[in-house]
Amino acid sequence: MSGISSGVGLATGLNITEIVDALIGVQRNALVRLADRASGFEAVEGGIKTLEANLLSLNSTVQTLGLESTFETLQATSSDTSQFSVAANSTATAATYQLQGLRTSSNHQVISKGFADSDTTQIGTATTITLSNGGKLDQPKLLEELNNGLGVQRGSIRITDRDGQTEVIDLTKTIDIDDVIDTINKSATTIVASIEDDHLVITDTGSGVGTLSVTEVGGGQTAADLGILKSVAGSSFNGDSVYRVTTDFNLSQINDGNGITTVAGSDDFQITAADASTIDVNLDTAQTIGDVVDLINNDVSNAGKVTASIDSNGKLSLVDNTVGGSTFAVTALNSSLAARELGIQQSAPGGTILGTISGGLNSVLLRSLNGGVSSTGTVLNAGQISITDGAAGNATIDFSSAETLDDVIDLINANGAIQIEASLNETKTGIQIKDLSAPSGTSIEIQDVTGNLASFLKIDTTLAETKHTVDSGSLDLRYVNEETSLSTYGKNGTAVSTGSIRITDRDGVSFNVDLSDATTTKTIGDVLTKINDAATTASAQINARLNDAGDGFIIESTGGSSFDVKVEEVSSGTVAADLGILGSGTTSVESNQTTVITVEATDTLDDIAEKINATGVASASIIDDGTAFNSSRLSLTSVRSGGAGEMILESSFDFGFTTSVDAEDALIRIGSNPQTSFLLTSSTNSFDNAITGLEIDLLSTGTSPATISVARDTAGIKSSINNFITAYNAFVDAKDSLTSFNSETNERGVLNGNGVVLTTVSRLEGLLTKKLSVSNNSIKSMSELGVQFSSNGKLQLNESFFDQVLIDDPSAVTEFFQQENTGFAVVMDEVITAMTDPFTGTFKAQTDSLQASALALNTRVDELNSILEDRRERLIRQFTLQETIVNQLNSQQSALERLQLLSTNNSNNKK
Domain residue spans of the chain: 36-71+714-845, 76-100+665-712, 107-134+595-661, 143-216+230-238, 251-358, 384-471, 491-592
- Of all residues in the chain, the percent with pLDDT exceeding 70 is 97
Q: Given this model, what pLDDT does residue 507 score? A: 95
CATH topology of domain 491-592: Immunoglobulin-like (2.60.40)
C-alpha to C-alpha distance for 161 and 345, rounded to whole angstroms = 46
Q: What is the pLDDT of residue 909?
A: 62
Residues above pLDDT 90, as percent of the chain = 70
Residue 318 has pLDDT above 70, yes or no: yes
pLDDT tens digits along 742-780: 888 888 888 888 888 899 999 999 999 999 888 888 899
Are 326 and 275 in contact by the 8 Å Cβ rule? The answer is: yes
User: What is the tens place of the pLDDT at every residue in 323-344?
Assistant: 999 999 999 999 899 999 999 9
Beta bridge partners of 127: 599
Burial (CB count <10 Å: 0-12, 13-18, 19+), residue 353: buried
Distances (CA, A) of 906 to 23, 34, 901, 902: 51, 69, 9, 6
pLDDT band of residue 6 (cuts 50, 70, 90) is low
**pLDDT score for 45:** 82
pLDDT tens string 487-523: 999 999 999 999 999 999 999 999 999 999 999 999 9
Task: Tell me the chain's radius of gyration from C-alpha atoms.
Answer: 47
Q: What is the mean pLDDT of residues 654-665?
A: 95
What is d(CA 651, CA 599) in angstroms, rounded to the nearest whole number? Answer: 10
In 26-73, the DSSP E strands lie at none
390 with 397: CB under 8 angstroms? Answer: no
* Pairwise CA distance, residues 148 & 255, whole Å: 17
Q: Is the entire prediction scored with pTM above 0.85?
A: no
Q: What is the mean pLDDT of the chain?
A: 90
At 669 the three-state DSSP class reads strand
Per-residue pLDDT at 319: 97
Strand runs (DSSP E) across 306-356, as ranges?
306-310, 316-320, 329-332, 352-355
Q: Which residue has the higher pLDDT, 906 or 633?
A: 633
Counting Cα atoms < 13 Å in the Cβ hemisphere of 405 gives 31
Q: Within 13 A of 155's CA, how many CA atoms are on the CB side? A: 20
CA 755 and chain centroid, separation: 58
Report the C-alpha gap between 553 and 588 in whole angstroms: 11
Is 483 a residue whose pLDDT tops 50?
yes
At residue 503, the pLDDT reads 97
**Nearest-angstrom CA–CA distance, 273 and 325:** 9
Decide if pLDDT at 197 tops 90.
Answer: no
Q: Beta-carbon neighbour count of residue 687 at 10 Å? A: 23
pLDDT in tens, 170-185: 999 999 999 999 999 9
CA angle, 597 then 598 then 599, to 5°: 115
* Average pLDDT of the residues in 859-887: 79
What distance in Å separates the CA atoms of residue 367 and residue 405, rounded to the nearest whole number? Answer: 9
Q: Which of 231-245, 401-415, 811-825, 871-885 has the lowest mean pLDDT?
A: 871-885
- Averaged pLDDT, 119-137: 94
Residue 43 has phi, psi (to 5 degrees) of: -65, -40
**What phi, psi does 119 have (nearest 5°)?**
-120, -5
Which pLDDT tens digit goes with each residue over 47-106?
888 998 999 999 999 999 999 888 888 899 999 999 999 999 888 888 999 999 999 999
17 vs 499 pLDDT, higher one: 499
Averaged pLDDT for residues 700-712: 94
Closest to 79 (Cα-Cα) out of 92, 62, 64, 97: 97
Residue 1: the pLDDT is: 42
| Burial of 371 (C-beta count, 10 Å sphere; 0-12/13-18/19+) | buried
Q: Is there a contact between 176 and 185 (Cβ–Cβ < 8 Å)?
A: no
Torsion sign, CA atoms 618, 624, 625, 629: positive
Q: 111 with 622: CB under 8 angstroms?
A: no
Q: Is the pLDDT of residue 463 over 60?
A: no
* pLDDT tens, position by position, 297-314: 999 999 999 999 999 999
Question: How many Å apart are CA 647 and CA 678, to the nearest integer?
Answer: 28
Cα–Cα dist 667/173, whole Å: 8
Q: How far is CA 14 from the centre of its chain?
A: 92
Q: Is the pLDDT of residue 130 over 90?
A: yes
The percent helix, strand, coil of the chain (3-state, each to 5) is: 30, 25, 40
Place 906 in a pLDDT band, splitting at 50, 70 and 90: low
Q: Which CATH class is domain 107-134+595-661?
A: mainly beta
Separation CA 97–CA 77 (nearest Å): 10
**H or E stretch including 879?**
helix 842-910
